[in-house]
């Protein structure tokens, strides 16, 4: 056996291995910690935003001619909005009138119409208050702890929702439970006696699902002089 030829072949094989493996090792070492190799994001499919209020059926937002604003639960949490009227205060075309501090009578005027010309639906149910002199809904007591989605449809919708939807429609969808029982809770506190507590229980079994939430927000007390 010619050992010089074996050593030459071994050195050639080592050089070939380094030529192939070195770029791969360098690419892996330059990747940030915890990074994972994923598929090309260019091939990912982006689902369109779906709106139900405008037509009564699930329709992509791009195919709707009406002016619609959708606010999701993730956006509410990111903005740290505790009440629905705080959320609606950032929606264009709406004027929120509150008669006092948190919890007081709150009315929504849409595009210059009266508050009783705004149809308010919670899980598809009309929640207009017949005890109110003008029949409008009071947003003062509505918190966001159990809200999953808010759709605001601006413009006259009398043909679909009746004469009390001249200004538009506000549709609120509450959270639904799924999977094994889950308990959630949070406590927040601030200056001048402000605090906010939330406790929730949700889950599902078979065809039955449940979601129970307790949400309490104590308004800010008078600031000392």
Torsion of CA 95, 98, 104, 107, to 10 degrees: -30
Which DSSP state fits 23? H
* Poorest-pLDDT segment among 16-25, 65-74, 125-134, 179-188: 16-25
Where residue 168 falls (left for φ over 0; alpha for ψ -120 to 50; beta otherwise) is: left
207 with 132, same domain? no
137 with 54, same domain? yes
Q: Is pLDDT of 35 > 90? A: no
Q: pLDDT of 133-166, one tens digit each? A: 777 888 888 888 889 999 999 888 877 888 888 8
* Domain that residue 106 falls in: 50-174
Structural domain contains residue 138: yes
Report whether 84 contacts 98 (CB < 8 A).
no
* Total domains, the chain: 2
pLDDT band at 220 (very low <50, low <70, confident <90, very high): low
Q: Which among 44, 66, 70 has a CA at the least distance from the CA of 55?
A: 66
Q: How far apart are CA 55 and CA 213, in angstroms?
A: 30
pLDDT value at residue 42: 56
Q: Of 42-46, 65-69, 140-144, 158-162, give the range with the top mean pLDDT.
A: 140-144
What is the overall mean pLDDT for the chain?
Answer: 77
* Poorest-pLDDT segment among 59-68, 153-162, 189-198: 59-68
Q: How far apart are CA 156 and CA 181, in angstroms?
A: 42
Report whether 125 contacts 134 (CB < 8 A).
no
Structural domain contains residue 11: no
204 with 163, same domain? no
Q: Which two tokens stand for residue 165?
A: 């939807």
Q: What is the CATH number of the domain that holds 139?
A: 2.170.130.10
pLDDT value at residue 3: 42
160 with 75, same domain? yes
3-class secondary structure, 148: strand
pLDDT value at residue 173: 92
Average pLDDT over residues 110-135: 86
Q: How far apart are CA 84 and CA 98, in angstroms?
A: 12
198 with 128, same domain? no
159 with 82, same domain? yes
Which residues, at least 6 apart from 99, have a Cβ–Cβ distance to it below 8 Å?
Answer: 105, 106
Q: Is pLDDT of 109 > 70? A: yes
Structural domain contains residue 139: yes
């Amino acid at each position: 056996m010619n050992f010089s030829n074996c050593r030459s072949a071994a050195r050639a094989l080592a050089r070939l291995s380094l030529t192939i493996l070195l770029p791969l090792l360098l690419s892996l070492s330059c990747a940030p910690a915890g990074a994972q190799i994923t598929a090309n994001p260019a091939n990912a499919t982006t689902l369109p935003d779906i709106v139900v209020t405008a037509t009564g059926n699930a329709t992509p937002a791009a195919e709707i001619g009406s002016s619609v604003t959708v606010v999701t639960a993730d956006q509410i949490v990111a903005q740290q909005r505790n009440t629905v009227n705080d959320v609606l205060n950032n929606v264009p075309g709406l004027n929120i009138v509150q008669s006092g501090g948190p919890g007081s009578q709150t009315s929504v005027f849409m595009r210059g119409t009266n508050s009783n010309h705004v149809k308010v639906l919670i899980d598809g149910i009309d929640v207009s208050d017949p005890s109110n002199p003008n029949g409008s809904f009071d947003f003062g007591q509505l918190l966001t702890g159990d809200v999953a989605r808010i759709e605001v449809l601006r413009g006259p919708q009398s043909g679909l929702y009746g004469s009390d939807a001249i200004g538009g429609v506000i549709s609120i969808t509450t959270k639904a439970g799924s999977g094994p029982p889950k308990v959630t809770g949070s406590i927040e506190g601030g200056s001048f006696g402000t605090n906010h507590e939330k406790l929730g229980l949700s889950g599902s079994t078979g065809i039955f699902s449940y979601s129970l939430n307790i949400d309490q927000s104590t308004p800010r007390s008078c600031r000392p002089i």
